[in-house]
Amino acid sequence: MAWDERQQRLLAAMGLRVWAPPAAGAPAAEAPAVAAVAAVAEAEAAPPVRARPAQAVPAAAPAQAPAAAPWSPATGALAGLGWPELREAVAGCRACSLCEKRTQTVFGVGHPQAAWMVVGEAPGEQEDREGEPFVGAAGQLLDRMLAALSLTRAADGEVPREQRVYIANTLKCRPPGNRNPTPEELAKCEPFLVRQIELVRPRLILAMGRFAVQALLRSDEPIGKLRGRVHRYQGLPLIVTYHPAYLLRNLPEKAKAWDDLCLAAEVFEGRAGGTALDALQPAQ
Ligand code: SF4
């Protein structure tokens, strides 16, 4: 099979190389017997942690100023909130016990009017420290995958909307020890994600990982069974794929994630047909 230029860029970005038959007369290379794509191991060193500015210790509040009640998804009309208010609501949320151990909430990153939206799972240690989703090795892999499709998380107004990506997690606080979130925690936090999607109004959602899929599709099926077709969330096309952190631990799965990204690009451009569109799921 011949890969077009974009497919080759995507393969390279994901650390995959295409096997090509040796030229006539050339010494035989160690070619895979069946697969056309071979995963290339890549040990990715974690990037240096960006120093956070020192934060001044706030002065004690005057005695006569009663503290405002902390926000939680259940105590306010999230449906009416704009970006600043929603960010503030997340930062002050104490609706579940994850608030107790967090360094800070991890709201989201990217242009607020993006055509693509990536939904991940929960902040890890580095995200908790930096306050941004998808940092570290998994974040770098995601950025390379996005760049292969000419997409960026940069909130740069010069970038056309079709190339902008907004990234948010299903949970805004880190589960201690990177344990799996509980169904209760996911349920408590979900309204924040719902409002983010409403505000971004993306043209396509990429759901990365089991908990993102559970939240958006209400499905307990494994990723392997849900990927490869077009689902719907509130009428928006939604593509399921593996979380980059999982791909770093399971290198051969990168080829599948590459297929998922190609499908997402085809759907976005209105080029997906046949199998993918035949499998459209009813609106949630
Ligand atoms: S995880 Fe979500 S619901 Fe729980 S405290 Fe954090 S922001 Fe609130």
- The answer as to whether 191 is a domain residue is yes
The pTM of this model reads: 0.76
Q: If you average pLDDT over residues 180-194, what whole number do you get?
A: 95
- CATH number for the domain that contains residue 91: 3.40.470.10
13 in any annotated domain: no
Residue 77 lies in a domain: yes
Give distance in angstroms: CA of 105 to centre of ligand 1: 8
- What is residue 2's predicted lDDT score, i.e. its pLDDT? 57
Residue 123 located in a structural domain: yes
93, 104, 128: residue to mutate for ligand 1 pocket, most atoms within 8 A of CB: 93
pLDDT at 6: 63
pLDDT digits (tens, 9 = 90+) for 72-87: 565 456 888 999 999 9
40 in a domain, yes or no? no
In angstroms, the CA 159 to CA 12 distance is 23
Q: Which of 100, 146, 144, 122 is nearest to 211 (CA)?
A: 122
CA of 42 from ligand 1 middle (Å) equals 34
Average pLDDT, the chain: 80
**Mean pLDDT for the stretch of residues 26-34:** 39
- Domain residues for the domain of 149 are 70-278
Report the domain count for the chain. Answer: 1
Is there a contact between 207 and 238 (Cβ–Cβ < 8 Å)?
Answer: yes
Q: Which parts of the chain fold into alpha helices (H)?
A: 5-13, 83-91, 125-130, 136-148, 183-200, 210-217, 223-226, 244-249, 254-268, 275-278
User: pLDDT of 94-153, one tens digit each?
Assistant: 999 999 999 999 999 999 999 999 999 999 999 999 999 999 999 999 999 999 999 999
pLDDT at 71: 55
Instruction: Kindly state whether residue 55 falls inside one of the protein's structural domains.
Output: no
Q: How far is the CA of 81 from the centre of ligand 1 (A)?
A: 17
For residue 61 the two structure tokens come to 């509040």
Collect all residues with Cβ–Cβ distance below 8 Å to 177 and sequence separation of at least 6.
Answer: none
Q: Helix, strand, or coil here: 272?
A: coil
Query: Regarding beta strands 37-39 and 16-18, do their DSSP bridges make them parallel or antiparallel, or are they unpaired?
Result: antiparallel
